[in-house]
């Protein structure tokens, strides 16, 4: 009986606040305020999560370099915000969406598995003699030494005797000194954005490594293998130590000259030299290179090759094909007196021999240059630069027969590996050749069509030299003479220096072109320039003297000229390559993004729109956002709290719309069921309204005239959608508002449209989003509609995502 009375009372009087004590009403108000705050926090977290997801997508499609620090930070930010969103939804509806936690945990585990995919070092040996090395040992010995082992074992070409300190050796060294934790800490705590900050970090980490001790077992293994080498080659044999890091020399990744080499080292200093090579993993240019090429720090195992020094008469680099013209199959040999170091580091402009592959092979070009110095072994230890006497400096460093012999080796090496090769070689006193390094050559397409050469009226400022990397680009001249200059190097400048030193590679992501007075097409910096798609002109006489700092020039590397000003007709289309795509870090981000970015829950009215169907963090954020709006909507009704219940909007339009005031959206509190338009204080609602009524409505627009208006109108004029109490949230048109916020939901039949806007005081948190799905038309017309709407929104700066016939668009505070 009592229940019946209660029921009648509620039915007749609405059982609102009339039946409540002032304390109850105040409690409801407090509860609502807390809920509204949770709702706002959820919206802010949602905004942050979506922002980070967009940034991840931009990173994946763009050319901007990023490292693991970025990947981890992005993952952390999205995960934290998704977790906050779940938490705030739970505050709004305790216990109602428990399943979300399990889905979130499962997605987190999938992300964690990708992030934690660090593998242990391959193999079980600390040191491996070169004669046991071949391509099957690549994970253990690094690609550079695996290639050399292959040359020795499989091709029977001469390679100096030696051994490799393996990936396991590196792991042993790092673990023995507990270095990785400290290195990771420093790398991840690094917040500087300038090159000089990075320089400081690089120096600190290198110092950590060089001060560490080589564990006894590793030291013993190195010394024993070295002693064996001495027994084979004679007491006191000197060695070179070179990096053979995993991934180095892989196709498409040159790492040219980015790590250190130590030459002519005696037994007493071998361990010190080993640490220097390992430390060079963290040299400024190696770190920059990895960052720009998307190579994660923890994927690089620093194997070190140790080979007997060859008492060199001459040395250099040869390419089995022309590196800057993929139509040219000639073998290009660069040679200089002494060790090949002067050729690879660009300190001399070497002799060039070009050999045709005709049968028999034929020397088709021979350019003998003045080589001012040579690098030779110091009788004590290390190497020295020796000035050359005039006669020696201008005499060819190879005979024609020797050049042909070398070319034959290049062709054999290319045949064995099945692709063009970049080979470092040395000639001993007995004029026999040794291969010191052999790796895939990155050949680029020829950019210059001789028939289309358009001459420029004005003469160049400087010209000549060799095209080290093709193309043309324009920018202000910036001289690089010292390391300090690298730190100041501006974005978009032309790097001009005396020598193309490999360490200038640090600025290859900022330079538009490179001009040097010395160097050749086979130097390390030339490889890096080609890799980055930057025009480079080397060996240009008097470039430093004739060019002026800050002067805007056009470097036409194809025609070997540098002109004053920006000559648009010469500039080649931007060739700067997207070096991130396909890189290991890119791959990790891509795999993680699959757990985060795709949106599968598109239709809030579909039966699969539920927690258990959330496959990604985006699904979770989408689900929670939708349900949070719903929870805010139902609070007033569930608690019979008229202050926060829906009010029908009174406006001079043939539409039925309801408004829920979340906080300060009304000018004055509303007692009854209706709110006049002039009582609406919400800035975004008024703006949306202004747009909705901008064109006077004569009646419903034609059904296929456009998505939004059509769906809005059909939904709002339907008399079946009669006011507040009987209709559910899922088929009415509501504004949820506060002064700075508005969420408009419109549903009717198969349509769903939502607009949400935040225009608060906090820059960076504001946004406007629009979602649309469905329609009664056939699929192709629905699809055409969302494509059309997306194009319009795109014009207005929205980022738009289409999936089937659903559209999500968003624009944020710039």
Partner 1 sequence: MGEMSVLLVDDEAEFLEILVKRLKKRKVNLTAVTSGEAAIQMMKESPADVVVLDVRMGGMDGIRTLDEIKKIAPLAEVIMLTGHANVEVAMAGMALGAFDYLIKPVQIDELLYRLQDAFKKKSLQEQRERSQGV
CA distance 84 to 441: 50
CA distance 277 to 241: 7
Write out the DSSP string of 591-605.
Answer: HHHHHHS------TT
Q: Which stretch binds partner 1 (CB under 8 A): 66-74, 335-343, 647-655, 714-722?
A: 66-74
Q: Hey, what's the torsion of the CAs at 542, 546, 547, 552, to 10 degrees?
A: -130
Neighbours of 185 (CB within 10 A): 10
663 binds partner 1 (CB under 8 A): no
- Residue 182 vs 491, nearer CB to partner 1: 182
CA distance 793 to 798: 5
117 binds partner 1 (CB under 8 A): no
Residue 188 beta carbon to partner 1: minimum distance, rounded to whole angstroms: 5
- Residue 26 vs 401, nearer CB to partner 1: 26
CA distance 312 to 438: 18
Residue 596 beta carbon to partner 1: minimum distance, rounded to whole angstroms: 11
524 included as an active-site residue: yes
Strand order, beta sheet including 741-748: 674-676, 647-650, 658-661, 733-737, 741-748, 751-758, 767-773, 806-812, 799-803
* Secondary structure, 3-state, 296-310: CHHHCCCCEEEEECC
Taking CB under 8 A as the criterion, the residue among 20, 72, 362, 591 binding partner 1 is 72
The binding track of 728-757 with respect to partner 1, each residue x by CB under 8 A or -, is: ------------------------------
84 binds partner 1 (CB under 8 A): yes
Taking CB under 8 A as the criterion, the residue among 31, 208, 571, 783 binding partner 1 is 31
Residue 584 beta carbon to partner 1: minimum distance, rounded to whole angstroms: 18
Q: Count CA atoms closer than 13 A to 499's CA, side-chain side.
A: 17
- Which residue in 524, 630, 639, 751 is the catalytic one? 524
- Residue 180 vs 718, nearer CB to partner 1: 180
The DSSP bridge partners found for residue 467 are 537
108 binds partner 1 (CB under 8 A): yes
Residue 47 beta carbon to partner 1: minimum distance, rounded to whole angstroms: 12
Taking CB under 8 A as the criterion, the residue among 8, 19, 34, 484 binding partner 1 is 34
Neighbours of 323 (CB within 10 A): 24
Q: Which stretch binds partner 1 (CB under 8 A): 23-31, 122-130, 264-272, 297-305?
A: 23-31
80 binds partner 1 (CB under 8 A): yes
83 binds partner 1 (CB under 8 A): yes
- Residue 190 vs 674, nearer CB to partner 1: 190
Place of tokens 């055409």: 784
The three-class DSSP label of residue 556 is strand
- Please check whether residue 233 is in contact with residue 130, taking contact to mean a CB–CB distance below 8 angstroms: no
21 binds partner 1 (CB under 8 A): no
CA distance 785 to 774: 10
Residue 105 beta carbon to partner 1: minimum distance, rounded to whole angstroms: 9
The binding track of 180-219 with respect to partner 1, each residue x by CB under 8 A or -, is: -----x--xxxx----------------------------
- Please check whether residue 54 is in contact with residue 809, taking contact to mean a CB–CB distance below 8 angstroms: no
- Residue 30 vs 394, nearer CB to partner 1: 30
- Determine whether 569 is exposed, middle or buried from the number of CB atoms within 10 Å of its CB (0-12, 13-18, 19+): exposed
Residue 586 beta carbon to partner 1: minimum distance, rounded to whole angstroms: 18
Which residue numbers are catalytic? 524
Residues that bind partner 1 (CB under 8 A): 23, 26-27, 30-31, 33-34, 37-38, 40-41, 44, 69, 72-73, 75-77, 79-80, 83-84, 87, 108, 111-112, 115, 185, 188-191, 762-765
């Amino acid at each position: 009986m009592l229940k019946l009375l209660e029921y009648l009372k509620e039915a007749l009087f609405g059982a609102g606040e009339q039946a409540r004590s002032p304390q109850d009403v105040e409690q409801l108000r407090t509860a609502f305020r807390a809920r509204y705050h949770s709702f706002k926090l959820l919206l802010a977290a949602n905004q942050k999560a979506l922002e980070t997801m967009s940034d991840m997508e931009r990173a994946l499609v763009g050319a901007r370099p990023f490292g693991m620090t970025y990947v981890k930070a992005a993952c952390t930010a999205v995960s934290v915000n998704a977790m906050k969103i779940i938490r705030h939804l739970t505050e709004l509806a305790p216990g109602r969406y428990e399943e979300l936690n399990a889905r979130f945990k499962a997605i987190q585990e999938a992300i964690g598995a990708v992030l934690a995919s660090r593998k242990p070092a391959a193999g079980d040996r600390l040191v491996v003699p070169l004669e046991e090395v071949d391509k099957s040992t690549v994970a253990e010995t690094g690609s550079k030494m695996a290639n050399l082992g292959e040359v020795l074992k499989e091709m029977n070409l001469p390679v100096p005797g030696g051994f490799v300190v393996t990936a396991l050796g590196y792991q042993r060294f790092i673990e023995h000194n507990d270095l990785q934790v400290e290195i990771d800490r420093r790398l991840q705590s690094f917040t500087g954005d300038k090159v000089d900050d990075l320089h400081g970090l690089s120096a600190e980490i290198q110092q950590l490594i060089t001060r560490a001790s080589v564990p006894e077992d590793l030291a013993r293994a190195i010394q024993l293998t070295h002693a064996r080498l001495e027994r084979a080659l004679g007491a006191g044999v000197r060695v070179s130590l070179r990096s053979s890091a995993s991934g180095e020399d892989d196709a498409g990744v040159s790492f040219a000259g980015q790590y250190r080499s130590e030459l002519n080292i005696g037994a007493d200093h071998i361990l010190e030299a080993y640490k220097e090579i390992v430390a060079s993993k963290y040299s400024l240019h190696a770190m920059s290179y990895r960052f720009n090429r998307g190579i994660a720090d923890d994927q690089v195992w620093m194997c070190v090759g140790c080979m007997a020094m060859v008492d060199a008469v001459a040395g250099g680099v040869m390419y089995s094909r022309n590196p800057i013209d993929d139509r040219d199959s000639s073998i290009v040999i660069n040679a200089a007196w002494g060790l090949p170091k002067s050729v690879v580091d660009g300190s001399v402009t070497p002799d060039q021999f070009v050999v045709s592959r005709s049968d028999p092979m034929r020397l088709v070009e021979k350019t003998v240059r003045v080589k001012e110095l040579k690098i030779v072994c110091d009788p004590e230890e290390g190497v020295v630069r020796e000035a050359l006497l005039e006669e020696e400096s201008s005499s060819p460093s190879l005979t024609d027969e020797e050049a042909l012999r070398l070319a034959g080796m290049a062709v054999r090496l290319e045949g064995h590996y099945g692709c063009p090769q970049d080979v470092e070689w040395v000639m001993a006193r007995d004029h026999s050749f040794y291969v010191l390094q052999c790796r895939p050559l990155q050949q680029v397409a020829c950019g210059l069509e001789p028939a289309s050469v358009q001459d420029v009226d004005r003469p160049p400022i400087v010209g000549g030299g060799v095209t080290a990397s093709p193309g043309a680009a324009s920018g202000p001249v910036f001289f690089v003479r010292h390391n300090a200059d690298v730190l100041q190097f501006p974005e978009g400048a032309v790097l001009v220096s005396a020598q193309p030193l490999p360490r200038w590679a640090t600025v290859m992501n900022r330079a538009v072109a490179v001009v040097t007075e010395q160097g050749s097409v086979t130097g390390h910096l030339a490889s890096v320039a080609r890799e980055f798609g930057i025009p480079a002109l080397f060996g240009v006489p008097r470039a430093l003297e004739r060019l002026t700092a800050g002067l805007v020039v056009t470097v036409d590397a194809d025609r070997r000229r540098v002109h004053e000003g920006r000559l648009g007709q010469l500039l080649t289309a931007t060739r700067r390559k997207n070096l991130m795509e396909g890189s290991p870090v890119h791959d990790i981000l891509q795999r993680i993004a699959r757990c985060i970015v795709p949106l599968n829950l598109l239709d809030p009215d579909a039966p699969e729109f539920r927690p258990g169907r959330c496959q990604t963090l985006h699904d979770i954020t989408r689900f929670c956002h939708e349900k949070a709006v719903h929870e805010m909507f139902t609070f007033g009704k569930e608690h019979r709290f008229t202050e926060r219940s829906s009010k029908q909007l009174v406006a001079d339009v043939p539409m039925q719309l309801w408004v829920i005031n979340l906080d300060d959206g009304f000018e004055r509190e509303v007692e009854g069921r209706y709110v006049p338009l002039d009582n609406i204080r919400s800035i975004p609602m008024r703006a949306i309204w202004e747009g909705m009524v901008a064109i006077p409505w004569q009646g419903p627009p034609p059904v296929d005239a456009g998505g939004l208006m059509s769906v809005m109108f059909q939904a709002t004029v339907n008399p079946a959608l009669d006011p507040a109490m009987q209709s559910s949230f899922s088929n009415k048109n509501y504004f949820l508002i506060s002064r700075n916020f508005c969420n408009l939901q419109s549903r009717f039949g198969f349509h769903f449209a939502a607009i949400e806007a935040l225009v608060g005081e906090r820059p960076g948190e504001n946004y406007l989003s629009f979602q649309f799905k469905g329609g009664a038309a056939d699929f192709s017309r629905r699809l055409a509609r969302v494509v059309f709407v997306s194009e319009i929104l795109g014009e207005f700066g929205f980022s738009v995502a289409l999936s089937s016939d659903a559209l999500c668009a968003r624009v944020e505070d710039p």
